[in-house]
Structure 1
Amino acid sequence: MNKSELIDAIAAEADIPKAAASKALDGMIAAVTGALKQGDTVTLVGFGTFYVGERAERTGRNPKTGDSITIPAARSPKFRAGKALKDAL
């Protein structure tokens, strides 16, 4: 399912116009992104939790030359599914 299909599904489920569903989805994405940027977690009970994962600095290898390189520490978004979502699957 892509974004336009998700908008169609939201509009049909909530019985609202597609334009309103698109604005609602864009608002939700912006709110989750903003919260994660601030380091907060976003918990949707029954669905899951969005949070920021930390990766430590590590040493890797350049596959072309075989030289050791340092891969810097990074933050990345993560999602942990809730119980209701897991049970639905």
Structure 2
Amino acid sequence: MKKPDFVKQVADISGLTQSDSNKAIKALVKVIQITLKNGGVISLSGLGSFRAKPRKARHGRNPKTREVILIPPGKKVSFKPTTTLRKII
């Protein structure tokens, strides 16, 4: 599902206008980004929880030159669905 379809469905279910739904979705995404950047956890009942996990430095390979390179440490986003969501799917 693309964003315009998502916005339309949120508007239909919530009774908001599509413009207001779009603003709400943008705000939600921004809050998730800021929280994860600051090391927080987002838990949404019925959906799951998002958290940023540290990732160790590792060796990779340049696909063009096959040269071994060092990939620096960083963070990755982890999502753990709730039991309710797992049962629905």
After TM superposition, the score normalised by the length of structure 1 is 0.89
SS of 2:50's equivalent? strand
Aligned-residue offset at 1:38: 0.5
* Equivalent in the alignment of 1:35: 35
Q: 1:65 to 1:10 in 2, by over 3 A?
A: closer
2:34 corresponds to 1:46: no
57 and 11 in structure 1: CA distance in 2 versus 1, 3 angstrom threshold: same
Indicate the residue corresponding to 2:4 in structure 1: 4
Structure 1 unaligned regions, length at least 5:
none
> Residue 70 of structure 2 aligns with which residue?
70
Per the normalisation by structure 2, the TM-score is 0.89
Point out where structure 2 has 5 or more consecutive residues left out of the alignment: none
Residues 72 and 18 of structure 1, relative CA distance in 2, 3 Å threshold = same
